[in-house]
Amino acid sequence: MMKRCAFLGGTFSAVTLGSYGTQSATAVAQNTTAQAPPEPLVWPVVTKLQSGIRSFAGHTDTVPDIVGRIGTTPSLVIFTEGNHLMVLLSEDIVGAFPLWAKSQSQFADLDLDNIVVVTLPQPIIVQMVRTGGIALGNLTLDVSRKSGFYPDIVMGGPDPLQDLRKLGVLEPRARFFSKNRGLALLVPKGNPLGIARLTDVARAGARLALGTALRSTS
């Protein structure tokens, strides 16, 4: 194997040097500039999808929006959205929940080893429940009580919750889990530039990043 690798390496080096001798450095640079950037490789969908099921193909960030183990019976399934991801899945909430449950006599026997959280946009959450599935390329996940991949809790705004209520999925009364306190500025730990208000951003010459969900009212 080592002799084969050495032979191939020597052969490719000779070909490269021989080719380079027939072209000037300028020609090589021109060829490099003229080459079009390669198109992204998207794996083809070869399965026949059920009508109405939302399908994602070529979206590299789709699977991370489903957190937990598929194939193992879920202990708790939460359908929410990406804006809740970092807080909900923190050590203070989902991380601390199993230990808290064990400390409560009425919940002490619950198996909370596999908490599944879906953080796709809310219209897709509604569509998943309504159609009974979601496709990730050639993989279709069954969203049903039978599969176990079905929400015990749905966290969302009034409109998607009302849509799910019409489908007979949710209880008639929703519970508030958070309240909007308005926009806030997030700064690095320790707030090294001493930013307390928006004018301090300009004073300190700091960079400001706005979430894509924000819309101008002008």
Distances (CA, A) of 140 to 60, 137, 201: 16, 8, 46
- Note the pLDDT of residue 214: 47
Contact 153, 164 (CB under 8 A): no
- Other Cβ atoms closer than 10 A to 39: 6
- Note the pLDDT of residue 82: 79
How would you write the pLDDT of the chain (218 residues) with one tens digit per residue?
444 444 344 444 444 444 445 455 555 555 555 677 777 666 666 667 777 788 777 665 567 688 888 888 899 999 998 778 888 888 999 999 999 999 999 999 998 999 999 988 899 999 999 999 998 878 889 999 999 999 999 998 899 999 999 998 888 888 888 877 787 888 888 999 999 888 898 888 888 887 655 444 33
Give the single-character DSSP code of 40.
P
Please give the span between the terminal C-alpha atoms of the chain, in angstroms, as a whole number: 68
Please state whether the predicted TM-score (pTM) of the whole model is above 0.75.
Answer: no
- Note the pLDDT of residue 131: 93
- Note the pLDDT of residue 59: 61
Domain boundaries, the chain: 54-166, 181-210
Distance CA 57, CA 136 (A): 6
- Note the pLDDT of residue 76: 93
Amino acid identity, position 66: I
Torsion region of 125: left, alpha or beta (phi above 0 gives left; psi -120 to 50 gives alpha) = alpha
- Note the pLDDT of residue 169: 87
The rounded Cα 17 to chain-centroid distance in angstroms is 46
